Amino acid sequence: MQSHYLPLVRSQTPLVHCMTNLVVTNFSANGLLALGASPFMSVTPEEIAEIQNFAQALLINIGTINETDAKAMLIAGKAANKAGVPVVLDPVGVGATAFRQKIIKQLLAEINFAVIRGNAAEIAFLAGINWQGKGVDAVTGGDAADLSRLAKTVAQKYRCITALSGEIDFISDGKNVRQIQNGTQLFRKVTGSGCLLGAVIGAFLGVAQPADYFAASIEACAVYAVAGELAARDLSRETGTFAINFINRLGTIDALQLADKARISEI
Amino acid sequence: MQSHYLPLVRSQTPLVHCMTNLVVTNFSANGLLALGASPFMSVTPEEIAEIQNFAQALLINIGTINETDAKAMLIAGKAANKAGVPVVLDPVGVGATAFRQKIIKQLLAEINFAVIRGNAAEIAFLAGINWQGKGVDAVTGGDAADLSRLAKTVAQKYRCITALSGEIDFISDGKNVRQIQNGTQLFRKVTGSGCLLGAVIGAFLGVAQPADYFAASIEACAVYAVAGELAARDLSRETGTFAINFINRLGTIDALQLADKARISEI
Amino acid sequence: MQSHYLPLVRSQTPLVHCMTNLVVTNFSANGLLALGASPFMSVTPEEIAEIQNFAQALLINIGTINETDAKAMLIAGKAANKAGVPVVLDPVGVGATAFRQKIIKQLLAEINFAVIRGNAAEIAFLAGINWQGKGVDAVTGGDAADLSRLAKTVAQKYRCITALSGEIDFISDGKNVRQIQNGTQLFRKVTGSGCLLGAVIGAFLGVAQPADYFAASIEACAVYAVAGELAARDLSRETGTFAINFINRLGTIDALQLADKARISEI
């Protein structure tokens, strides 16, 4: 694929306001910095509305959410909507507890999201399908047509882009779906791999026009997956080394590698 | 030693609910993932009881505890006890402040712990002995018989397994004590080395029957110490590299290495 | 330069109480451990006053501050002042939001800081100058005389040492200014590089007499910058590797390397 937004991220250094979970703050900030973006990490109720005045994107990630955070996210999300700042939602583990389900319902009702990024189980939950009833193996081994349909359904339901991550990524704007056949199994063994992707999508949205959010999301996912593929070279289960390689690769990945490696197709 | 629980951890992927401190969330989650377990990080009061319905183990670590966390830990611990989920306690720095002492007293009064893991000073505090009065050097250089007795005393007092970590690890069920002479001095120079061990013990309990918690705890500590020993090879003070190597080693350590390296004996 | 305080840090293991942001807890603790100091991470209101009884230094970093943290920092800072424990302030992103400005004003009014460490924009804000009006490039490319004057002005205004970090570091006691021409551009690409420096300054203050805080701050910044320079060798944009190398280098840097590499001069 032709690299269009990656050079813009590096030249414009978009500020990505991350309201994310306590496990991945450091990895997310370092990943954004490596890529060329500028992280701003804050869940402080007193300042999260003001930040939308200078942010280029907002990430809302519910990985370790509590009541205070949820209120802050509602305020920040609405302020971002008003200011025209694109908002990415990462509904981490939404199916796991009643509390997360309640919070996600509120967030989806009150905020317009530009992109929702999640794994198959999370996107299925938003589609109203009990994916876990199909077994966990289905998530990784699963049927491409099913996963593609899931991504499309959620994009239509919430009028946004969906990025369903897994062995293959499926990105949909509700009409079209693109699949990306890159990446590595090692992503699943590093905490925050998905969370950082949400932040990276934010960085790409931050240098794109709203009409181009679909294209920007596809490129973000492709850059991420190819960087992961390159980082996993010659590794089997050395996930410590992989995480470090991956940060390196986010810093060094270029247009040539992307053109050479990215396997993107319609589905 | 023969490896019995490690393969079960890798095949069953036990979910370990970590209620742990803000410094080590990322390292703990990545360590569990590398090993083959599944971390779930949450201290959210609204969901921590529900999580016990699908968790295989619960870790309570007081490293950066506050009043809100303490209440959540009490709720989670009692729910885990009711659901038959084994609970590991890590009384980080319990002797340091009056607040920690108050909280630990409550936790020990209201929750049945399967395992208490700590360093010599923390276990000594639980035994009612002012270890710091003996100097800090005694903790590392100390007398094996003293440390063994400490582990046994606390195991009897709280009717649980004690895992006293240090240059030599001492694990006791209140009757027997095993010492593990593996590990590396570099553990002390990486924050969360002890905290992650608590989580790893949780993963091993999560695939064991209650009657076998002593055996599972010994194997957990041995796997951990041998992985550390292998990770420290050829290093002197390069603790950044050690931490990465160690995550790698948790992913690659196998039955053969354990059989070859583990030095476990009765004391 | 002659190394005076580094050996003292390694032999005395000063306990540095870090009240810092959620993004850098792990990196800060590991950096202090590598260097030879002892981190204590807590923002718990119930214990932060008591900690000043055994801490050798206190760091207050407002990177992800909220109302609760702010109150705790005021309590801790005043207790540290009373106990004679040196306090370091890191006014992260102070210019970014009204909330941070309000908090910093309170902290500066009620606590006597031994050292304030920040980048050019943060120090300029404390000096009452709107640095952002001069553009961001000025911060990195900027005029040494301007930056030196900024450091001196803030040191005079708050009767403390100022450490202004950037491509060149400027350290001032209000009368004199020293510049350190070491370091690496990669620091800017690793989150918490500045935050960890604040903690490291704390460690050096923790082994110095109040009359020598200026000298100790200069050595802390020089050790840090030289370790960064050595860690960046042969790297271009591999920031994952750099962060690990840097932790290693904090552990291995010695008097000889410091004497050989440090470029410190009056300005």
Query: Which tens digit of pLDDT belongs to each residue from A188-201?
Result: 999 999 999 999 99
Closest C-alpha among B250, B262, B177 to residue B214: B177
Confidence of residue A133 (pLDDT cuts 50, 70, 90): very low
* Chain B touched by A95 (CB under 8 Å): no
User: What does the pLDDT average to over A201-224?
Assistant: 98
Residues C19, C48 contacting (CB under 8 angstroms): yes
Q: Does A192 touch chain B (CB under 8 A)?
A: yes
Q: Give the model confidence (pLDDT) of B80-97 as tens digits.
A: 999 999 999 999 999 999
Mean pLDDT calculated for residue range B132-159:
77
> What is the tens place of the pLDDT at every residue in B7-59?
999 999 999 999 999 999 999 999 999 999 999 999 999 999 999 999 999 99
Residue C146 in this model has a pLDDT that exceeds 60 = yes
Q: Name B222's Cβ contacts closer than 8 Å, sequence gap at least 6.
A: B1, B180, B182, B258, B262, B264
Q: Does A63 contact chain C (CB < 8 Å)?
A: no
pLDDT, chain B, mean:
95
Which range has the worst mean pLDDT, B135-139, B263-267, C89-93? B135-139
Of all residues in chain B, the percent with pLDDT exceeding 90 is 94
Please give the average per-residue pLDDT across B225-230, as a whole number: 98
Mean predicted confidence (pLDDT) in C36-44: 98
C5-266 CATH: 3.40.1190.20
Q: Does C191 touch chain A (CB under 8 A)?
A: yes
Rounded to the nearest angstrom, the minimum Cα separation between B213 and chain C is 31
pLDDT, residue C61, reads 98
pLDDT of residue C137: 39
Shortest CA distance to B147 belongs to which of B157, B127, B94? B127
The answer, yes or no, to whether residue A140 has pLDDT greater than 60, is: no
At B133 the pLDDT is: 45
- What DSSP element (H or E) covers A198? helix A193-205
CA distance C41 to chain A (A): 15
Q: Which of the residues A136, A239, A245 would you substitute to probe the B interface, choosing the one with the greatest number of B C-beta atoms within 10 Å? A: A239
Residues C30 and C243 sit within 8 Å (Cβ to Cβ): no
- Place B135 in a pLDDT band, splitting at 50, 70 and 90: very low
pLDDT of residue A136: 36
Distance (Å, rounded) from C-alpha A133 to C-alpha A117?
21
Name the residue in chain C with its Cα closest to that of A39.
C191
Specify the range with the lowest mean pLDDT, choosing from B39-48, B84-93, C102-111, C133-142.
C133-142
Pairing of strands B115-119, B161-165: parallel
What is the rounded CA–CA span in Å between residue C167 and residue C185? 7
Q: Confirm whether residue B41 is marked as ligand binding.
A: yes
Q: Are strands B169-172 and B177-180 parallel, antiparallel or unpaired?
A: antiparallel
Does any CB of chain B come closer than 8 Å to the CB of residue A106? no
Query: Which residues of C are less than 8 Å from A44 in CB distance?
Result: 64-66, 99
Q: What is the mean pLDDT of residues B191-202?
A: 98
Q: Tell me the percentage of chain A whose pLDDT exceeds 70.
A: 95
**Binary contact (A189, B34; C-beta < 8 A):** yes
pLDDT confidence of residue C132: 59
pLDDT for C230 beyond 90: yes
Going from the C-alpha of C125 to that of each of A112, B34, C118, C121, the distances in angstroms are 35, 44, 10, 6
pLDDT band at A170 (very low <50, low <70, confident <90, very high): very high
Instruction: Determine if residue B126 is left, alpha or beta; phi over 0 gives left, psi from -120 to 50 gives alpha, anything else beta.
Output: alpha
C-alpha distances (whole Å) from B145 to each of A133, A198, B151, B152, C196 are 53, 53, 10, 11, 40
Residues C218-227, buried b or exposed e (16+ Cβ, 10 A)? bbbbbbbbbb
- pLDDT given at position B229: 98
Kindly state the average pLDDT of the residues B131-146: 59
Across the range A210-233, mean pLDDT stands at 98
- Judge whether C254 is closer than 8 Å to chain B, CB to CB: no
Distance from CA of C203 to the nearest CA of B (A): 16
Contact B22 A22 (CB under 8 A): yes
Query: Rounded CA gap, B190 and B186, in Å?
Result: 7
pLDDT exceeds 50 at position B61 = yes
Give yes or no for residue B128 having a pLDDT over 60. yes
Average pLDDT over residues B109-129: 96
Partners of B236 on chain C (C-beta within 8 Å) are 252
Q: How far is CA B18 from CA A202, B39, B42, in A?
A: 29, 7, 7
Lowest mean pLDDT: which of A225-229, B253-257, C134-138, C227-231? C134-138
Coil/strand/helix, residue C117 = strand
From the CA of A244, how many Å to the nearest CA of chain B? 8
Pairing of strands A87-90, B115-119: unpaired
The alpha carbon dihedral of A230, A235, A237, A242 has a sign of: negative
Average pLDDT along chain C? 95
pLDDT at A137: 39
Residue with tokens 């291995």: C252
Instruction: Place B1 in a pLDDT band, splitting at 50, 70 and 90.
Output: confident
- Contact predicate B177/B171, CB 8 Å: yes
- Give the residue from chain A lying closest to C235, CA to CA: A248
Residue whose pair of structure tokens reads 């183990």 in the numeric block: B57
Q: What is the pLDDT of residue C141?
A: 47
Q: How many CB atoms lie within 10 A of CB A233?
A: 10
Would you say residue C133 has pLDDT above 70?
no
Q: What is the pLDDT at residue A135?
A: 40
Of A29 and A2, the structure prediction assigns the larger pLDDT to: A29
* Closest-CA residue to A33 (of A228, A253, A206, A251): A251
Q: Is B16's Cβ below 8 Å from some Cβ in A?
A: no
CA–CA separation, C35 vs B240, rounded Å?
Answer: 11
pLDDT for residue C129 = 85
For residue range A237-258, list pLDDT tens digits in order: 999 999 999 999 999 999 999 9
| pLDDT of A64 higher than 90 | yes
User: So what's the pLDDT on residue B138?
Assistant: 40
Cα–Cα dist B70/A31, whole Å: 33
